[in-house]
């Protein structure tokens, strides 16, 4: 009798566990962006969240946790419960350069990559009314009266880009760290900074003008902007971003999020919004993104050491 009851209870427990897993998510999902609202990562994150919310049937809430080049939010997320309800939409800098530069408490093993969502080359940009019209103007100003290059905090991709440009162009720009996004626009449009490196939405978002694209090829979005290579300096600086979960997130939850992300990225709503914002889509599923991410983590660490930014 007791044995029969035990078997019945075990079956009941197994069935209830299956039902619980099948119901993920049964409450709101949080997607943390480690920068201020309106920044480079925030825009596609909100586009993605809107589509995932419809597909999952639960609220997908984007939160912004700014600070220290994205490491404040990333650190918080790495310590969150790995249950699929705390996710992060994070870019290359936060996940693959900052850990080497700042010796953060998180590293490549802290995450389960869910999907890559967007990737695109950086552009060297200035204000529309800037007297800097060409790359030659840029170099002359930097080596003459001086040039201020604004970007997110030290170790961000904008900062790394400024270091790379100084090396390539023989310039000595002053770097102005900000909280990113709107703060960079405030400094440039207010005349306190001269230039920055930004995504392909620099014109529609901030009204800026492109000097050069830091890519081997010109872009269909801005076909008139020359490559840095055409101007005598080869460069290939792209910024990708994607959805991450804390390490240890259950496989079935990862699989559902992976499938949902793919469907969201391919949806008309997402592609239309990204096109109107002049942002470029690049999707990778969880398996491919995991391999890509780990390779980027290692190679970027080596690049930072070669550039003298990491001892």
Predicted confidence pLDDT, tens digits, the chain (311 residues): 444 444 444 445 444 444 444 589 999 999 999 998 888 899 999 999 999 999 999 999 999 998 888 999 999 999 999 999 999 999 999 999 999 998 899 999 999 999 999 999 999 999 999 999 999 999 999 999 999 999 988 778 898 899 889 989 999 999 999 988 789 999 999 999 999 999 999 999 999 999 999 999 999 999 999 999 999 999 888 899 999 999 999 999 999 999 999 999 999 999 999 999 999 999 999 999 999 999 999 988 887 887 777 87
pLDDT at residue 22, rounded to an integer: 52
**CA proximity to 185, closest of 222, 154, 158:** 158
Domain ranges in the chain are: 28-119+240-306, 123-213
Answer for the pair 125, 96: CB distance below 8 angstroms, yes or no. Answer: no
- Helix, strand or coil, per DSSP, at residue 266: helix
pLDDT at residue 21, rounded to an integer: 45
For residue 32 the two structure tokens come to 């943390």
**CA proximity to 42, closest of 18, 70, 17:** 70
Phi-psi region at 91: left, alpha or beta (left = phi > 0; alpha = psi -120 to 50): beta
Element (H, E) at 197: strand 195-198
In angstroms, rounded to a whole number, what is the distance separating the alpha carbons of residues 78 and 299? 22
For residue 65 the two structure tokens come to 């946790």
* Reported pTM: 0.81
| 151-163 residues labelled b (16+ CB within 10 A) or e (exposed) | bbbebbbbbbbbb
Q: Tell me whether the omega of the peptide bond preceding residue 122 falls within 30 degrees of 0, making it cis.
A: no
CATH number assigned to the domain covering 28-119+240-306: 3.40.190.150
In angstroms, rounded to a whole number, what is the distance separating the alpha carbons of residues 245 and 85? 9
pLDDT at residue 288, rounded to an integer: 98
- The class (CATH top level) of 123-213 is alpha beta
pLDDT at residue 23, rounded to an integer: 87
| 246-259 residues labelled b (16+ CB within 10 A) or e (exposed) | beebeeebbebbbe
**CA proximity to 88, closest of 246, 238, 254, 274:** 246
**CA proximity to 250, closest of 54, 85, 95:** 85
Same fold, 28-119+240-306 and 123-213: yes
Q: Kindly list the distances between the CA atom of residue 64 and the CA atoms of 33, 279, 307, in Å, as whole numbers in the listed order.
A: 5, 20, 31
């Amino acid at each position: 009798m007791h044995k029969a009851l035990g078997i019945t209870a075990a079956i009941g427990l197994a069935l209830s566990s299956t039902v619980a897993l099948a119901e993920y998510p049964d409450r709101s999902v949080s997607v943390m962006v480690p920068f201020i609202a309106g920044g480079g990562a925030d825009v596609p994150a909100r586009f993605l969240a809107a589509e995932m919310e419809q597909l999952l049937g639960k609220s997908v809430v984007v939160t912004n946790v700014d600070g220290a080049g994205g490491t404040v939010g990333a650190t918080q997320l790495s310590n969150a419960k790995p249950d699929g309800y705390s996710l992060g939409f994070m870019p290359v800098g936060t996940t693959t350069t900052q850990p080497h530069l700042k010796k953060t408490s998180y590293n490549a093993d802290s995450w389960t990559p869910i999907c890559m969502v967007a990737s695109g080359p950086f552009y060297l940009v200035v204000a529309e009314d800037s007297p800097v019209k060409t790359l030659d103007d840029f170099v002359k100003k930097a080596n003459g009266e001086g040039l201020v290059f604004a970007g997110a905090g030290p170790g961000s991709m904008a900062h790394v880009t400024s270091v790379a440009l100084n090396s390539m162009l023989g310039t000595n720009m002053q770097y102005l760290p900000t909280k990113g996004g709107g703060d960079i626009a405030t400094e440039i449009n207010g005349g306190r900074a001269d230039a920055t490196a930004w995504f392909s939405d620099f014109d529609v978002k901030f009204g800026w003008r492109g000097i050069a694209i830091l890519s081997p090829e010109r872009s269909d979005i801005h076909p008139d902007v020359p490559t840095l290579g055409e101007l005598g300096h080869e460069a290939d600086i792209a910024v990708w971003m994607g959805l991450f979960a804390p390490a240890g997130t259950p496989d079935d939850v990862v699989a559902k999020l992976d499938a949902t992300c793919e469907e969201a990225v391919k949806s008309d709503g997402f592609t239309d919004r990204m096109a109107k914002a002049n942002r470029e889509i690049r999707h990778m599923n969880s398996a491919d993104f995991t391999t890509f991410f780990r390779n980027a983590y290692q190679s970027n660490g080596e690049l930072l050491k070669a550039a003298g930014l990491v001892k």
